């Protein structure tokens, strides 16, 4: 009988965001694959989880995913976690999930923390339709992608490093215009969480003078339509669903 791969989100900051189900799954698993076992050991100790761990990160996932999938095929239940948030969302996870699907194995993903959802909702920008870009290409293809996103009518969500924040805001002003509404969200769910809402021009001026630390999410309003309003589509009564 085959085992199962369970993708387990872990807190992006506040440990109270860890769910009871996630704790149970990690305790019952035969093995936990962690992006960084040293980082994850803090979380596991906090919740008294003693399951064996192994490294699974972007530098070794090409070599390990096939072997791990075959262990699941042999009956083991393996849990996958990243340093923070939901594996597969700008973190390792996709390749192992794909390999398990190729072999017809069960893949389960628990609902849980991820940085971009609270940043998007708290930004005050339209969140009925949005585009999640993760990290922009660092060099090759970056200008092309920014040009494409400048015409995007939906709200745009981007992850960024604090070291590259000022540069990215400067490029966003260049491609999107200084008057585009945006929010810079820092350290979501942590003690020093901050959300700065303003135009891209004002945000670029602010963060070009102030070096920041922590994880960054940038939320940008979509391009205005020809009528001068943000593109926005609402579901009709026949299309509405409860989620």
Per-residue pLDDT band at 232 (split at 50, 70, 90): very low
Query: Distance between CA 91 and CA 134 in Å, rounded?
Result: 10
- Percent of the chain exceeding pLDDT 70 equals 93
pLDDT band at residue 58 under the 50/70/90 scheme: confident
Using the CB atoms, write b or e for 65-76: b if 16+ within 10 Å: beebbebbeeeb
Distance CA 49, CA 44 (A): 5
* Residue 154 sits in the same domain as residue 96: no
Q: What is the CATH number of the domain that holds 66?
A: 3.40.1010.10
Regarding whether 78 and 148 lie in a shared domain, the answer is no
Q: Are residues 70 and 13 in the same domain?
A: yes
For the stretch 191-230, pLDDT in tens is 889 999 999 999 999 999 888 888 999 999 999 876 555 5
Which structural domain, as residue segments, surrounds residue 11? 4-109
Number of folded domains that form the chain: 2
- Tens of pLDDT along 70-125? 999 999 999 999 999 999 999 999 999 999 999 999 999 999 999 999 999 999 99
231 inside domain: no
157: CATH: 3.30.950.10
């Amino acid at each position: 009988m085959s085992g199962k791969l369970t993708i387990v989100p872990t807190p992006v900051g506040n440990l109270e965001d860890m769910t009871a189900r996630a704790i149970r799954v990690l305790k019952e698993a035969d093995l936990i694959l962690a992006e960084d076992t040293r980082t994850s050991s803090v979380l596991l100790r906090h919740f008294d989880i003693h399951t064996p761990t192994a490294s699974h990160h972007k530098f070794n996932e090409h070599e390990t995913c096939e072997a791990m999938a075959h262990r699941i095929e042999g009956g083991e239940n393996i849990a996958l976690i990243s340093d923070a948030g939901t594996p597969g969302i700008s973190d390792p996870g996709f390749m192992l999930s794909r390999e398990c699907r190729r072999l017809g194995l069960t893949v389960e993903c628990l609902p849980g923390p991820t940085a971009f959802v609270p940043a998007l909702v708290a930004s005050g920008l339209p969140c009925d339709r949005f585009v999640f870009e993760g990290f922009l290409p660092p060099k090759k293809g970056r200008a092309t992608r920014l040009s494409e996103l400048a015409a995007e009518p939906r709200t745009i969500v981007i992850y960024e490093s604090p070291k590259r924040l000022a540069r990215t805001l400067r490029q966003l002003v260049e491609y999107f215009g200084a008057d585009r509404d945006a929010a810079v969200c820092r350290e979501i769910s942590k003690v020093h969480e901050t959300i700065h809402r303003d135009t891209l021009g004002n945000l670029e001026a602010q963060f070009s003078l102030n070096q920041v630390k922590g994880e960054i999410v940038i939320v940008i309003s979509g391009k205005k339509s020809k009528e001068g309003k943000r593109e926005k589509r609402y579901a009709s009564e026949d299309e509405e669903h409860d989620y």
